[in-house]
Structure 1
Amino acid sequence: MEIITERLTLRPIKYKDVANLHKILSQQSTRRFNDYEQGITNTELRAWIQWDIEQYIQQKGIRLAIINDDKQFIGTIGIQFTSRFDAFMVSFELDENYRGYRYMQEALSALQIYSKEIEWLRCKNWKAKIHIENIAAINTVIKCGFRTYFHRSNKCYLVYKF
């Protein structure tokens, strides 16, 4: 399964992506806005990818590698069901060298369109938990039709609903 856009190919994450994904997740600008500020090991990352694969098999989510038109791994985007929010939560990370070019907006829009073709993803309850200072991510989800749903100031997160 692949989703192809004008500039990107989105494909399921694989174990071979560990090194490239680790590089992105180790970037200070990525760690600052994610749940793993202290970093993540390759072993933890392999377990995370295994979990993503299992979620896809169980029809509870999907994580896709984002490959640009130069065949470079530049990030991931995923959607996973979370019972805590009773919703599918969107998450993404993009290599800092590729930010500002609307790649993530293109990837999220493509995932939204693709989800209409998959019954278990075809839902109206998508959310994205975003750090309040991550203006680029906030702008990305707003441009893709999300709106502010919940603000939790003590954790500095906004939740957007599509």
Structure 2
Amino acid sequence: MDLESTRLLLRPISYRDTDVLMTVLNDPLVAQYNDYGMCLSRDEIKALIQWDLEQMYRGVGMRYAMLLKPCNTFVGTLGIYDHDTLNNTCHIGFELSSMYWGRGLMYEALDCLVQNMRYGNTLFHGNLVISAKVARNNTRCAQLLKRLQFHLIDSKTADKSEHHHYQLTLTCNNLTFA
């Protein structure tokens, strides 16, 4: 299912995104904050996309390609992972090409995704807890999540961890059809 905001089209990731995703993830400015490491090969990117597709088919996740309208330029990705329907939790992750930092695009994309989870998606119901893991030195990402009403979660190992953990609790509206 595609999502759309003012400047972005969000569509499910596919193998046709392999080369552009490899460019984004191998950008040293982006790679310093993600869990994938540096210098990912084309086969490793394909394996990531395969995992994303498996998450989608199992109904526990979805990675979206972020396309800048009107020319549909690939600028990054964002995704929902490990949706646990029993505990009503999920994780989000995202990356944006450094060429597009500072333009509000990731805020726009995440806001679109969160609003869809809250109001437009029948997979989510009740009080959904969304978690995000952020590299400690990624202050821009921390500010972004706070702007979206995520809260820093205290942890016994917070001083030793390389990441901060953020959470947002959404009250999702169930859609009913007459």
Deviations 1:46-70, CA, capped at 9 Å, x for gaps: 1111111111111101100000023
Residue 113 in structure 1 maps to residue 115 in structure 2:
yes
- What displacement does 1:37 show? 2.4
**2:59 corresponding residue in structure 1:** 59
Cα distance in 2 between the residues matched to 1:72 and 1:38: 23
Moved more, 35-44 or 69-78: 35-44
**2:171 corresponding residue in structure 1:** none
- What displacement does 1:82 show? 6.6
Structure 1 residue ranges, 4+ long, deviating more than 6 angstroms after superposition: none
Identity of aligned residues (%): 28
Deviations 1:57-97, CA, capped at 9 Å, x for gaps: 111011000000231100000010177xx731110000000
- What displacement does 1:99 show? 0.4
Q: What are structure 1's unaligned runs of at least 5 residues?
A: none
Cα distance in 1 between the residues matched to 2:22 and 2:124: 27
- What displacement does 1:155 show? 2.8
Residue 148 in structure 1 maps to residue 152 in structure 2:
yes
Cα distance in 1 between the residues matched to 2:117 and 2:153: 21
Letter in 2 for 1:90: I
Backbone CA RMSD of aligned residues: 1.6
- Aligned CA distance change for structure 1 residues 82 and 124 (closer, same or farther; 3 Å): closer
**1:104 corresponding residue in structure 2:** 106
Moved more, 49-58 or 145-154: 145-154
Deviations 1:121-145, CA, capped at 9 Å, x for gaps: 4452101100111011111111111
Q: What are structure 2's unaligned runs of at least 5 residues?
A: 169-178
Rg larger in structure: 2
Count how many residue pairs are aligned between Structure 1 and Structure 2: 160
**1:136 corresponding residue in structure 2:** 140
1:160 to 163, 166, 172: 166
- What displacement does 1:36 show? 2.1
Q: Is the 8 A contact 2:61 2:83 kept in 1?
A: no
- What displacement does 1:43 show? 0.6
What TM-score does the superposition give when structure 2 sets the normalisation length? 0.84
Cα distance in 1 between the residues matched to 2:102 and 2:36: 23
Cα distance in 2 between the residues matched to 1:82 and 1:67: 24
Letter in 2 for 1:145: Q
Cα distance in 1 between the residues matched to 2:51 and 2:36: 16
Moved more, 106-115 or 122-131: 122-131
Q: Secondary structure at the match of 1:79?
A: strand
Cα distance in 1 between the residues matched to 2:64 and 2:82: 15
Cα distance in 2 between the residues matched to 1:75 and 1:161: 22
**1:126 corresponding residue in structure 2:** 130
**2:172 corresponding residue in structure 1:** none
Q: Secondary structure at the match of 2:112?
A: helix
